[in-house]
């Protein structure tokens, strides 16, 4: 496992790494939990004019506290726009939204995600999960899709029980062939072991950096498919004191998201 | 992959086919009378929601939901409903607890976001008693929008290439202008929809504050609409701020005055969600016996929603939840 030292825990490391992927002046549709903590941290560090939107209808709120729901009052407090789910999704579909941030039970090497079920029969699943929610739409429409997830062999799976949300589908050109908007697709995966991007030709996961204390062998052993690796392969820069201070004091003082590490 | 992503054929069941002229004929016959539509929740559910109907729930799961209506559906023992699982979290949890539906258009179900997954909702969905067709939040919402527009479908650029498409009832079409592949999303006209609002007059003119989620299109798609409201106001007050009107009276069938009618959900500008009680629900779902005792206490053992509110601490608890609400109207 990655080093959990006195300075930070794993959840804090992931939120910090995720926050660094969000460029200033861009727009993002964000879900509750770690993605939201990452967006709030980005706004208070490198991306003060990052616009956050919520699929339930609020846009550009003054995020004073981590919301419990993508619809609750904290997503609406000080917002510039109170609208509808259709309005947010239509902004995504017309190309106005740069980032989305997702989770999921299983992800494959092309960044396709399962959040629907475990089993083989949708009408009688072994384990039923929430389903797409907005994930299928957001990953179809937004320019860049990011995923935050624990890294183990069960989640990083060669095959999916159900492909809920499109990554690069079956590989190069597949999204375009299926009819998804061109130029969109998976961008980064922030896992408990590494920061992972996608090979520009093969559209497969390519590890960009290993978190402090993690070895390449460990990543391979915890992944159910063949990964590509950057060479040389750097170590993910540790959270700075400033990032940790903002995260702990302003973003998640109650440890709702980062306390579970 | 057995089939190419470009040639996936959908096989999901269409529980409510897009009968566009049938819907027009229904709305042609629907009363436009501006009459006093106030009634109790018991009467509204008994008159407008019948076994086998297809129903839609407003708000977003645990935000601005019509909890009193949902409890009453369970209390009256409605069965074999169709349910639109659009952003449904605590509302879905309640409907599953009553085992009220046997077919579900599922976009987001059985999760309560940061509160975790509802175990009993999962059991109901894994039981084999429910037929499921998959959608995403945007496409299920656009099914309401197509119905609200009075057209049989809307084209969309999601679902394509995935199992989500394969197990939906959408179809791939080619754009007649650009040749692009598009997902045709069929219109959905639910038999009954229910929403909770901030204020309404006695005729059903209803206004909300804050985000509308999918309710604008949903109420326009539904054949019958039940409104529960925090406050009853005069029609004059509606007219003074008509841009806030979500639904006009000629779409509404019943108006139920239910203060705190969204509890334990979050009613923006009024009261925040009751995290303790939502967690109590989740804990009670650990096994059937505990759940039964819980439901007996709060739903089957109460006659009205007001009795439930009293069991949960009444005016004192509601005042605490008001104090937790961060949204304030200007000047407050």
B6: nearest CB among A82, A130, A178? A178
- Is pLDDT above 50 for A251? yes
Q: Please tell me the distance in Å from A219's CA to the nearest CA on chain B.
A: 26
DSSP notation for chain A: -----SS--HHHHHHHHHHTTS-TT-EEE--TTHHHHHHHHHHHTT-TTPEEE-TTSEES----S--SSTTSHHHHTT-SEE-BHHHHHHHHHTT---EEEE--SEE-TT--EE-SEESS-TTS-SEE----TTHHHHHHHSSEEEEEE---TTTB-SS-S---B-SSTTSTTHHHHHTPPTT--EEEEEESSEEEEE-TTT--EEEEEEPTT--HHHHHHT-SSPPEE-SS-PBPPPPPHHHHHHIIIII-TT-TTGGG-
> Is the residue at B313 inside a domain?
yes
Question: What is the residue-averaged pLDDT of chain A?
Answer: 95
Residues of A in contact with B326 (CB under 8 A): 64-65, 73-74, 77
- Is pLDDT above 90 for A24? yes
Q: Please tell me the distance in Å from A165's CA to the nearest CA on chain B.
A: 7
The answer to ipTM > 0.95 is yes
Residues of A in contact with B210 (CB under 8 A): 58, 73, 76, 82
Residues of A in contact with B159 (CB under 8 A): 136, 140
Q: Which residue has the tokens 């609409």?
A: B225
> Is the residue at B25 inside a domain?
no
How far is CA B165 from its chain centroid?
A: 23
Q: What is the CATH number of the domain that holds B304?
A: 3.40.1080.10
Q: What would the two tokens of residue B208 be?
A: 């909300």
Q: Please tell me the distance in Å from B46's CA to the nearest CA on chain A.
A: 30
Task: Judge whether A224 is closer than 8 Å to chain B, CB to CB.
Answer: no
* Closest C-alpha to A72, from B152, B90, B51: B90
B210: nearest CB among A65, A82, A124? A82
* Total number of domains in chain B: 1
Q: Which residues 229-258 of chain A have a CB within 8 Å of chain B? A: 256
Residues of A marked as catalytic? 55
> Is the residue at B214 inside a domain?
yes
Q: What would the two tokens of residue A254 be?
A: 């109650």
> Is the residue at B26 inside a domain?
no
Give pLDDT, residue B332: 72
CA atoms within 13 A on the CB side of B107: 28
Mutate one of B6, B124, B138, B196 to test the A interface: name it (highest A CB count within 10 A): B138
Give pLDDT, residue B2: 54
Give pLDDT, residue A2: 56
Cβ of B212 within 8 Å of Cβ of A57? The answer is yes
Give pLDDT, residue A104: 74
B161: nearest CB among A128, A160, A169? A169
Q: Where are the domains of chain A?
A: 10-254
Give pLDDT, residue A261: 46
Greater confidence (A1 vs A8) lies with A8
Give pLDDT, residue A32: 86
Region A154-179 average pLDDT? 97
Percent of the residues in chain A that have a pLDDT greater than 90, as a whole number: 92
> Is the residue at B172 inside a domain?
no
The residue segments making up the domain with residue B259 are: 52-134+189-320
Residues of B in contact with A165 (CB under 8 A): 162, 164
Q: Which residue has the tokens 């996961």?
A: A205
A1: pLDDT confidence band, cut at 50, 70 and 90? low
Question: What's domain A10-254's superfamily in CATH?
Answer: Glutaconate Coenzyme A-transferase (3.40.1080.10)
| Residue ranges of chain B with per-residue pLDDT less than 50 | 1
> Is the residue at B74 inside a domain?
yes
In angstroms, the CA A115 to CA A128 distance is 9
Candidate from A39-48, A96-105, B32-41 with smallest mean pLDDT: A96-105
For B82-95, the pLDDT digits (tens) are: 999 999 999 999 99
Task: Judge whether A140 is closer than 8 Å to chain B, CB to CB.
Answer: yes
Q: What would the two tokens of residue A19 be?
A: 């926050």
Query: Judging by beta carbons within 10 Å of its beta carbon (0-12, 13-18, 19+), is residue B100 exposed, middle or buried?
Result: buried
> Is the residue at B303 inside a domain?
yes
B266: nearest CB among A32, A72, A177? A72
Residues of B in contact with A181 (CB under 8 A): 157
CA angle B209, B105, B221 (to 5 degrees): 50
């Amino acid at each position: 496992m990655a080093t959990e030292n006195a300075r930070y825990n794993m959840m804090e490391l992931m939120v910090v790494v995720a926050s660094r992927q969000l460029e200033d002046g861009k727009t993002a549709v964000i879900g509750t939990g770690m993605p939201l903590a990452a967006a709030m941290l980005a706004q208070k560090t490198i991306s003060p004019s990052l616009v956050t939107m919520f699929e339930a209808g609020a846009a550009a709120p003054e995020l004073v506290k981590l919301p419990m729901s993508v619809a609750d009052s904290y997503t609406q407090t000080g917002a510039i726009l109170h609208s509808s789910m259709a309005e947010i999704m239509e902004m995504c579909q017309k190309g106005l939204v740069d980032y989305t941030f997702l989770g999921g039970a299983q992800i494959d090497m092309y960044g396709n995600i399962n959040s629907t079920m475990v089993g083989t029969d949708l009408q009688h699943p072994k384990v039923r999960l929430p389903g797409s929610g907005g994930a299928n739409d957001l990953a179809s429409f937004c320019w860049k899709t990011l995923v935050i997830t624990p890294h183990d062999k069960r989640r990083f799976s060669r095959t999916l029980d159900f492909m809920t949300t499109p990554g690069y589908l079956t590989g190069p050109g597949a999204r375009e062939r299926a009819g998804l908007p061109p130029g969109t697709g998976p961008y980064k995966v922030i896992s408990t072991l590494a920061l992972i991007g996608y090979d520009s030709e093969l559209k497969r996961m390519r590890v960009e950096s290993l978190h402090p204390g993690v070895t390449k062998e460990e990543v391979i052993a915890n992944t159910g498919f063949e990964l590509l690796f950057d060479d040389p392969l750097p170590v993910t820069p540790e959270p700075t004191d400033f990032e940790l201070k903002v995260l702990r004091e302003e973003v998640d003082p109650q440890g709702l998201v980062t306390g579970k590490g | 992959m057995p089939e190419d992503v470009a040639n996936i054929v959908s096989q999901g069941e269409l529980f409510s086919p897009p009968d566009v002229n049938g819907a027009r004929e229904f709305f042609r016959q629907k009363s436009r009378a501006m009459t006093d539509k106030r009634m109790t929740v018991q009467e509204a559910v008994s008159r407008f929601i019948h076994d086998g109907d297809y129903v839609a729930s407003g708000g977003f799961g645990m935000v601005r939901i019509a909890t009193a209506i949902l409890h009453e559906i369970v209390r009256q023992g409605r069965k074999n409903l169709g349910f639109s699982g659009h952003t449904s979290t605590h509302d879905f949890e309640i409907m599953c607890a009553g085992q009220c539906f046997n077919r579900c258009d599922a976009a987001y179900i059985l999760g309560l976001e940061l509160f975790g997954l509802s175990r009993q909702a999962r059991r109901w969905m894994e039981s084999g008693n429910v037929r499921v067709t998959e959608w995403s939040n945007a496409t299920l919402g656009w099914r309401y929008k197509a119905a609200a527009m009075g057209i049989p479908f809307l084209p969309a650029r999601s679902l394509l290439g995935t199992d989500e498409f394969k197990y939906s009832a959408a179809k791939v079409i080619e754009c007649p202008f650009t040749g692009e592949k598009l997902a045709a999303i069929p219109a959905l006209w639910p038999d009954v929809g229910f929403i909770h609002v901030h204020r309404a007059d006695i005729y059903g003119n209803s206004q909300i504050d804050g985000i509308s989620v999918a309710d604008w299109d949903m109420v326009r798609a539904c054949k019958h609409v039940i409104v529960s409201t925090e406050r009853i106001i005069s029609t004059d007050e509606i007219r003074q701020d008509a841009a806030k009107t979500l639904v006009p009276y000629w779409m509404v069938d019943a108006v139920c005055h239910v203060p705190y009618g969204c509890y334990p959900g979050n009613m923006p500008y009024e009261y925040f969600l009751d995290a303790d009680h939502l967690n109590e629900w989740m804990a009670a779902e650990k096994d059937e016996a505990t759940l039964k005792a819980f439901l007996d206490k709060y739903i089957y053992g109460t006659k009205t929603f007001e009795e439930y509110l009293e069991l949960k601490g009444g005016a004192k608890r509601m005042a605490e939840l008001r104090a937790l609400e961060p949204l304030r109207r200007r000047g407050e």
